[in-house]
Amino acid sequence: MSIVLVSNGPGELATWVRPLADALHRSLLLRPRAPWSPISLRLVLVPCPNATGTEAQVASRWGVFDRITAADQFWPLLLRPGRYGAWPGRGVVVFLGGDQFWSVLLSARLRYRHITYAEWVARWPRWNDRVAAMGAAVRDQLPSRFQPRCSVIGDLMADLSSHARQASPLPEGEWVALLPGSKRAKLCVGVPFLLETADRLAARRPECRFLLPVAPTTSADELVRYAGRANPIAAGYQAAVDALAAPAVDGCGRRLITRAGTVIELQEDPPAHGALSQCALALTTVGANTAELGALGVPMIVLVPTQHLGVMQAWDGWLGLIARLPGLRWCIGVLLSAWRLRHHGFLAWPNISAGRMVVPERVGAITPEAIATEAEAWLSAPDRLQGMRDDLRSLRGQPGAVAALAGEIRQLLPRALSD
């Protein structure tokens, strides 16, 4: 028998898939960690415009999946599952990111039972054996005949904080996290922008120490390239990397040292939740990282520098697809990005969840000098930072959703296998 987790991008893998996979292994003793087990754990990645293409390689390093199917193999898998190994006659498909319809198709093709984890809406309740909802609003939206299939389990990300508390403490200091993103479109802008911001903030506030978690879809060497001549956008910023140095005696990893002498500690062992949870403030791009920071209760400033709209096409949905059309990419990407920014509403996940401005979003032709000034103001006002932290924690909900989802999956297994 198989449990098949279906997902798409790096954020979902780090915050939903990996914690659930670990929980399932603890409760069920699955292959490959338990080679004798009658139940295997598999991962199927689905097509997604926001994926990086390296998700399969990242997941393979964890050693928790018996088999991984890459996103570019999804359609051939639907047509001929046997080409990708033997599939047991019974199993459970678990939706954990992407388009919910892909997991509907896969469960129907494999004739497996099906459960969807729904953050905001469950789109195909008729074809789900169970729906695991983040909140009661998901259940209330369902037609009454499908509501008995739905259980409210809470926010999977709420468990991040309890796991983070087990991490080793960072060296003493006032830590500021820098999160430039995980995709090329964001890194081209985010790396040079945040390096200069760090230089300017360090000049204003010498006691600051900087942490940069390296996304599993990139590397320290690539970050250096994004800060140099290989990235044309970097020419518009004053910061540059002088060296990629070995870890300091009290450091947490290798270090980027800028030309101005600012030291930025790299966290190269993802996920970096334990280290991030100890930071006083984070400077971050938009995306799933805002949800992670919110779940960890880390105050943040969310940055969208619109002076680089020509490369900022990492949008979700049909807008992102159109912005990538060959030949029209630059023109349409700029127009659509400008339109979306003008009508964006909220961009950071804590603000979207709360329906109000919990964390500041800086959208426009922002500069490193302006962001360094604002960051200094926040760091100089610990009461304001604590207020933002308290607001984030109030949105997070109680831990336990990962264990609850693992329990829902166990209920879909034949009783002899789940005991």
3-state secondary structure 272-331: CHHHHCCCCEEEEECCHHHHHHHHHCCCEEEEEEHHHCCCCCCCCHHHHHHHCCCCCHHH
Report pLDDT for 175.
97
Q: How far is CA 366 from CA 215, 306, 339, 388, in A?
A: 24, 8, 18, 22
Q: Are residues 31 and 67 located together in one domain of the fold?
A: yes
Q: Are residues 297 and 353 located together in one domain of the fold?
A: yes
The answer as to whether 327 is a domain residue is yes
Structural domain boundaries enclosing 125: 2-154+400-418
Closest CA to 402 of 18, 10, 97: 18
Q: Are residues 25 and 88 located together in one domain of the fold?
A: yes
Q: Are residues 262 and 129 located together in one domain of the fold?
A: no
Report pLDDT for 335.
58
Cβ(195)–Cβ(239) below 8 Å: yes
Regarding beta strands 67-69 and 40-45, do their DSSP bridges make them parallel or antiparallel, or are they unpaired?
parallel
Can the peptide bond before residue 382 be classed as cis, meaning omega within 30 degrees of 0?
no
Report pLDDT for 315.
47
Quote the CA–CA distance of 191 and 240 in Å, as a whole number. Answer: 10
pTM of this prediction?
0.81
Report pLDDT for 94.
98
Whose tokens are 């599952």? That residue is 81
Q: Are residues 321 and 290 located together in one domain of the fold?
A: yes
Report pLDDT for 115.
98
pLDDT digits 0-9 by tens, 65-98: 999 999 999 999 999 999 988 999 999 999 999 9
Q: Are residues 224 and 299 located together in one domain of the fold?
A: yes
The answer as to whether 62 is a domain residue is yes
Question: What is the signed CA dihedral for 68, 162, 265, 57, rounded to 10 degrees?
Answer: 0
The answer as to whether 319 is a domain residue is yes
Provide the number of structural domains found in the chain. Answer: 2
Report pLDDT for 143.
96
Output the domain CATH number for residue 291.
Answer: 3.40.50.2000
Output the domain CATH number for residue 35.
Answer: 3.40.50
pLDDT digits 0-9 by tens, 182-234: 888 889 999 999 999 999 999 999 999 999 999 888 899 999 999 999 999 99
Q: Are residues 210 and 355 located together in one domain of the fold?
A: yes
Q: What residues of the chain score a pLDDT lower than 70?
A: 162-166, 250-252, 309-344, 415-419
Q: Are residues 391 and 406 located together in one domain of the fold?
A: no
The answer as to whether 305 is a domain residue is yes
Q: Are residues 316 and 184 located together in one domain of the fold?
A: yes
Across 105-254, the runs of DSSP E, i.e. the strands, are 113-118, 130-133, 150-152, 174-179, 208-213, 241-245
The answer as to whether 240 is a domain residue is yes
The answer as to whether 293 is a domain residue is yes
The answer as to whether 159 is a domain residue is no
Report pLDDT for 9.
84
Report pLDDT for 101.
95
Q: Are residues 337 and 236 located together in one domain of the fold?
A: yes
Q: Are residues 243 and 198 located together in one domain of the fold?
A: yes
Q: What is the mean pLDDT of the chain?
A: 88
Cβ(155)–Cβ(117) below 8 Å: no
The answer as to whether 230 is a domain residue is yes
Other beta carbons less than 10 A from residue 399's beta carbon: 18
What percentage of the chain reaches a pLDDT higher than 70? 88
Q: Are residues 227 and 324 located together in one domain of the fold?
A: yes
Quote the CA–CA distance of 34 and 82 in Å, as a whole number. Answer: 24
